[in-house]
């Protein structure tokens, strides 16, 4: 009974954490558009909010679920045998559903249609390369934090990587299949056109494999 409750808490933590992440991504994007017409200022607002919420979520939910909030991270943890196949499947379902609920909530909060497909085209090999690099870096960072026994710094280091990648990658660093799918459901600043979803997810999976390779090179586990 104890293990069942523990598993439930982990799954709910992944759901709530991912929902809050998307609520922040979409909501801050809409707010940025409402208060500024400057593209740089909008990006700064959006990225600052993403960094902040990630630091909070990883700190709060890390001891409960590991703070994956990302199917790619969960799949890598499954490959490393750090999570069971059943729990990993539940995590991914929680992440996908949480991302969708977070997006719908943000749309509703700002008086937008609950679900409306984005027209923000993000296609092109340059953007896909950006996703490969951003995702590879995330997976390598997590693995190296674990190897160096500095995982306690994860809230700062992981948030810093993602924040930096939002600026230095051409894709603005989605990194996350659940985030990618959910952001297609909001035709706002942070949106992505549905036809860009599959190439982005493919790039993220390639990046995950590359990140595993980098971490193995440095003897990370």
For the chain, what is the mean pLDDT?
95
pLDDT of residue 219: 77
Q: What is the mean pLDDT of residues 158-176?
A: 96
pLDDT of residue 1: 44
Q: What is the mean pLDDT of residues 15-23?
A: 98
Angle at which helix 154-168 crosses helix 39-65, to 10 degrees, equals: 150
| Cβ-proximal residues to 116 (8 Å cutoff; 6+ apart), any chain | 107, 185, 186, 187
Asked if 146 and 215 count as a contact pair (C-beta separation under 8 A), the reply is no
What phi and psi, each to the nearest 5 degrees, are found at residue 212? Answer: -60, -45
Which of 199, 168, 165 is closest to 181 using CA atoms? Answer: 199
Tell me the β-bridge partners of 186.
Answer: 116
pLDDT band at 56 (very low <50, low <70, confident <90, very high): very high
How far, in Å, CA of 148 to CA of 139, rounded?
14
pLDDT band at 4 (very low <50, low <70, confident <90, very high): low
Is 40 exposed, middle or buried (CB count within 10 Å of its CB: 0-12, 13-18, 19+)? exposed
pLDDT of residue 220: 57
8-state DSSP, 153? G
Q: State which residues form the domain around 120.
A: 2-217
Tell me the β-bridge partners of 116.
Answer: 186
For 166, the token pair is: 């939002």
Q: What is the CATH number of the domain that holds 67?
A: 1.20.1080.10
How far, in Å, CA of 127 to CA of 138, rounded?
17
* Share of residues in the chain with pLDDT > 90 (%): 94
Per-residue pLDDT tens digits for 101-118: 999 999 999 999 999 999
For 127, the token pair is: 């953007």
Q: How many domains does the chain have?
A: 1
Asked if 161 and 168 count as a contact pair (C-beta separation under 8 A), the reply is no
HSE-up (13 A, CA, CB side) for residue 49: 20
How far, in Å, CA of 77 to CA of 88, rounded?
8
For 13, the token pair is: 């933590």
């Amino acid at each position: 009974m104890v293990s069942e409750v523990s598993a439930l808490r982990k799954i709910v933590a992944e759901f709530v954490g991912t929902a809050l992440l998307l609520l922040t991504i979409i909501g801050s994007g809409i707010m940025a558009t409402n208060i500024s017409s400057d593209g740089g200022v909008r990006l700064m607002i959006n990225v600052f909010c993403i960094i902040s919420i990630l630091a909070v979520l990883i700190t709060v939910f890390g001891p409960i679920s590991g703070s994956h909030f990302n199917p790619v991270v969960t799949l890598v943890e499954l490959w490393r045998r750090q999570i069971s196949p059943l729990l990993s499947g539940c995590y991914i379902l929680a992440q996908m559903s949480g991302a969708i609920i977070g997006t719908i909530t943000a749309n509703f909060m700002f008086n937008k249609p609950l679900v409306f497909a984005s027209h923000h085209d993000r296609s092109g090999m340059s953007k896909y390369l950006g996703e490969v690099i951003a995702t590879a870096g995330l997976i390598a960072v997590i693995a190296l934090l674990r190897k160096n026994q500095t995982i306690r710094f994860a809230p700062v280091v992981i948030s810093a990587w993602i924040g930096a990648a939002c600026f230095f990658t051409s894709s603005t660093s989605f990194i996350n299949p659940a985030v990618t799918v959910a952001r297609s459901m909001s035709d706002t600043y942070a949106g992505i056109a549905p036809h860009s979803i599959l190439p982005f997810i493919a790039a993220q999976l390639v990046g995950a494999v590359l990140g595993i390779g980098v971490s193995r090179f440095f003897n990370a586990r």
